[in-house]
A and B are shown apart, each in its own frame.
Chain A
Amino acid sequence: MTAVARMTLLHLRTIAPYRIPGLLVFGAIVLIDSRNPVVLVPTLALVLAPILTAQPFVVGDKADLQTLYAVLPLPRRTVLLGHYAWALMSFFVVAIAGTALAALLAQAQGIPFGRSVATLLTLCWALFAVNISIQLPLLIRFGYTRINLLVTTMPVALLLAGVVRLHLVDIESIRDWLALFWVAGAAAIAASATLASHASRQRQGA
């Protein structure tokens, strides 16, 4: 197991004791969006995935996990990459589970769904990438206590919800640009990791 994988597993174990509230949020979102499965995937990906991403920081601030990370025989860079790996894992698990569930709900209600799923997932990826690119350096630099999740998560989620509800964007019109969205998202995350590395060094000296 690589060091980054060990850090990701540590995050999973960090939030494991608090899985029931997370499952309740998941259930509530599914319940609310069950009549509109197309909205379910972006809601899960843009609300639940960022919450999961931030959860190790929430627990970490209470449990002084910054000290644990400093004591463990890991390079600082690995700790940092572990946060990003955890965020990516959160997104993909939530997106895959959400898509599968949305497909089932759509099929049960006879709602057309399959045609727009790739486009929707791509949009979610791009927005999620922008979201965590802002969120993670702030969380790493200041900790969760000083950075309210609402500041970094809700604007993006509300933006997308507005776009979808008001049909401001014709989702099909961006079909030709999907690859660009994936690349742009990945680039945003890479830039963010570089910034976070700098912020992390500052926090050590503070």
Chain B
Amino acid sequence: MNGDLAFALRGVGCAVGNGFALRDVSFELPTGYVMGLIGANGAGKTTTIRCLLGMRGIETGEIELLGHRVPGPAALRQDVGVVLDHTYLVGDWRLAEVERTLRPFYDRWDSVRYRQLLAEFGLDPRAKVKEISRGMATKLMIAVALSHRARLLVFDEPTSGLDPVARDELVGIIGDFLLDEGHSVLFSTHVTTDLDRIGDFVTLIHGGRVVRTGRKDEILDGYRVVRAGPDELIDLVGVELIGVKRSSTTAQALVRTEEADLLGGGVLVEVPTLEEIAVHIGVSSRNSAATVPNGRREEFA
């Protein structure tokens, strides 16, 4: 086990049902960084997170979490805070009761910090869980995670449905959490703009497979988005157009950076955003699944 890793998944496979499965999922995050887990709805993000947390058994591979092989000892969960896109608390609990209820389970629970965080986040301790908004509920779950002094925060779609102000606040909270270099964050989302600001590493997942994983900057540098007229963006020898999207007036695709120079002068070449990379790779994977027999997909190394 490697103590410098917040977590690592190696060759993880897990059948879920309805034909969906995680297949050979491998990626890792060094301690002290933020990883964005990006994929469309149904790509396998939540299943991956459930496997990582030991909430779902795996059939192949192994998972390492904070230096322990998952499932690991129950005490391992003292160090992990889990923030989902919904609360998993009784709706009729008041926020003060949440603290009284959860405190006995955590060795390092800090009641003063919980109350401070509620005040900082503008949460009323007398409010009921079911009465607070989505954004406030996310903050509540973050307050819980920070109050038991988690070293790893795992977010599953925390920003879906949040307004821009709430998302901005969340990014700020994560930034503060990362001031301690022993802290790490896994952030699953399909809203990639949040990761443009805070992500250090990115893993793209599609159809239960990891399509690309690595440092965000390397992934951004590795691709270019190209735009041209629909007849100008055609397959050239040595250039692979990834996830081509065509309309009556334009065509757009992703290419590897080193291949971009091979395109003609009428093609506009730009640095992509994470969202553009995710969209084009998603389109490409979907097309491959539709055309390649037995669902085998092309891998993008």
Contact = CB atoms under 8 A, between A and B. Distances in A.
Contact of A73 (B86, B88, B101, B106): B106
Contacts of B88: 63-68, 71
A59 B129 CA distance: 14
Contact of B53 (A6, A10, A70, A206): A70
B56 A204 contact: yes
Interface-central residue, A1, A6, A66, A72, by most chain B CB under 10 Å? A72
A142 interface: no
Nearest to A62: B91
Instruction: State the majority secondary structure of interface residues on A.
Output: helix
B57 A205 contact: yes
A34 to B, nearest CB: 31
A63 B91 contact: yes
A70 B77 CA distance: 9
Interface size class of A (residues with CB under 8 A): 20 to 34
Contacts of B54: 70
A65 B90 contact: yes
Contacts, number: 65
A64 B53 CA distance: 16
Interface size class of B (residues with CB under 8 A): 20 to 34
A28 interface: no
A10 to B, nearest CB: 6
B251 to A, nearest CB: 44
Nearest to A5: B104
A131 B110 CA distance: 41
Interface of A: 1, 6, 9-10, 13-14, 17-18, 59, 62-68, 70-75, 78, 204-206
Given A72-B77, A206-B17, 7 more contacts: A10-B101, A59-B90, A63-B88, A63-B91, A67-B82, A204-B57, A205-B56
16 contacts: A1-B104, A10-B101, A13-B90, A13-B93, A63-B90, A64-B87, A65-B90, A70-B54, A71-B53, A71-B77, A72-B105, A73-B75, A73-B76, A204-B55, A205-B56, A206-B17
Cβ-closest 3 pairs across A and B: A17-B92, A67-B88, A73-B77
